[in-house]
Amino acid sequence: MTGRAHGTGPVAEAEADADARAAGAVEVLGRDVALEAYRVRITADGAPLTGYVPEALFANPWRPGERPSHQDAYEWIAGNRGRIRAALIARARGAARIRAPFDQLFLAEEV
């Protein structure tokens, strides 16, 4: 017995990452300073799709002019991952209308 718990280590982490992507996860790739948006990636129809979530969507209305914290960004993105995913897929497929405020998201290829 090695003392390691079942389901731990690099292989288990890779499998968990693959499971999360398959389940519709939204991966945050970081902040784009020039665009004032967070770059995210999803997998749609078996292919990676990169988009941007503008900081204005999760900015604190009580502190105008201040940039939201990374914590605020990650929490907002996590809480809205299903809607973000749906909006990016709809935009990639050329949907004419996307429900606000997710109509403000844009694809990397649109930049």
Domain count of the fold of the chain: 1
**36-95 confidence digits (pLDDT tens):** 999 999 999 899 999 999 999 998 777 777 888 999 999 999 999 999 999 999 999 999
Domain that includes residue 36, residue range: 25-110
Q: Where are the alpha helices (DSSP H) in the chain?
A: 10-22, 70-79, 81-92
- Whether the CB-CB separation of 40 and 77 falls below 8 Å is answered with yes
Question: Is residue 55 assigned to a domain?
Answer: yes
Prediction pTM value: 0.77
Question: Is residue 44 assigned to a domain?
Answer: yes
CA pair distance 85, 5, nearest whole angstrom: 34
